[in-house]
Amino acid sequence: MFGTTTIGIDLGTANILVYSKEKGIILNEPSVVALNTNDGTVLAIGHEAKEMIGKTPTSISAVRPMKDGVIADFDLTSGLLREIMRRISTSGVRKPNVVVCTPTGATSVERRAISDAVRSTGARSVALIEEPVAAAIGADLPVAEPVANVIVDIGGGTSEIAIISYGGVVSSTSVRTGGDHMDEEIIQYIRKNYNLLIGQATAERIKMELGFAPIEHVAQTADIRGRDLLTGLPKTIQVSSTEIQSALEETLQRILEAIRNTLEMCPPELSGDIVDRGIILSGGGSLLQGFRDWLVQEIDVPVHMAPSPLESVAIGTGRSLAFVDKLAKI
């Protein structure tokens, strides 16, 4: 019974999610590994390791093995996956068939790296599925039908935009811009304007609290703590949501440009469907305040949120095997 379990893995830049058909999402951890730099052993993964980022002694290094949606450090990713598989196996899943999603822009070498990393953890078989297709399946879109399903999936490292019809990608754009790049823009903005150095975790918190798409909103403020670059001492400053909004604008414009490019490549027969059915948003980056309203203003078609934006890709990856046979016939 255990041998035939199928699980879906969303191997994301920011988070790793594992989905099983029987139990739903069985694991959701940040894609972070804490290493002992002396002997290379893995000390912690996920939430525990994320807490350590920027706070460790020299003998411990907390790093993200995934960058821009693909594997940046093969050994670390394998270690992270092995630990995740060990945790899953304690809940009764052994030697599963695994489906993993990959960004549309991933090269064959990057795809093989993902496949090998998962196979090294003892999976019975490994299948790869493109991320936007997985997100569309997870968002309950009728991907196997001859209608245009437009999915905009904004992850930590990449934003994937795709038009899917008959189970295949009709046109797509993948840009290596996502939630992590928004954090980076905030870090640079605070550094340039206030001479204050802040960490990734602080930037992420500011993005969630004060981040807005380029729409009108009631300004909010928050205190930020960091290190003053002039004196080297800790310092607290106050920033407003309008400042953070301007810091994020360039990144958001790049995503908008990618959406426009994808829609421009759409066959005219499917364009009519898009006007009726609109666009579906998924991924953590799409939860930015005002993002949906801003897109409606800019591209003038209906924009809807996926039922569970953060989990769409993992759910779709797990469910996708049911579609594979159907799509093979098509």
* Residue owning tokens 């493109």: 130
300 CB-near residues (< 8 Å, 6+ apart): none
- Alpha helices by DSSP H, listed for the chain, are 46-50, 74-89, 108-119, 131-138, 179-194, 200-210, 241-264, 268-277, 291-299, 312-329
**Collapsing DSSP states into helix, strand and coil, what is residue 258?**
helix
Q: What is residue 105's DSSP assignment? A: T
Q: How far is CA 22 from CA 96, 299, 308, in A?
A: 13, 39, 18
- Distance in angstroms (rounded) separating the CA atoms of residues 99 and 133: 12
Say if residue 301 is exposed, middle or buried (CB neighbours under 10 Å; 0-12, 13-18, 19+). Answer: middle
- Distance in angstroms (rounded) separating the CA atoms of residues 190 and 194: 5
192 CB-near residues (< 8 Å, 6+ apart): none
18 CB-near residues (< 8 Å, 6+ apart): 7, 8, 9, 10, 25, 26, 27, 28, 84, 88, 314
Residue type, position 29, single letter: E
Query: Annotated binding residues for ATP, as ranges?
Result: 13-15, 156-158, 204-207, 284-287
Q: Side-chain half-sphere of 30: how many Cα atoms within 13 Å? A: 18
Query: Annotated binding residues, as ranges?
Result: 13-15, 156-158, 204-207, 284-287
Region for residue 85 given its phi and psi (left: phi exceeds 0; alpha: psi -120 to 50; beta: otherwise):
alpha
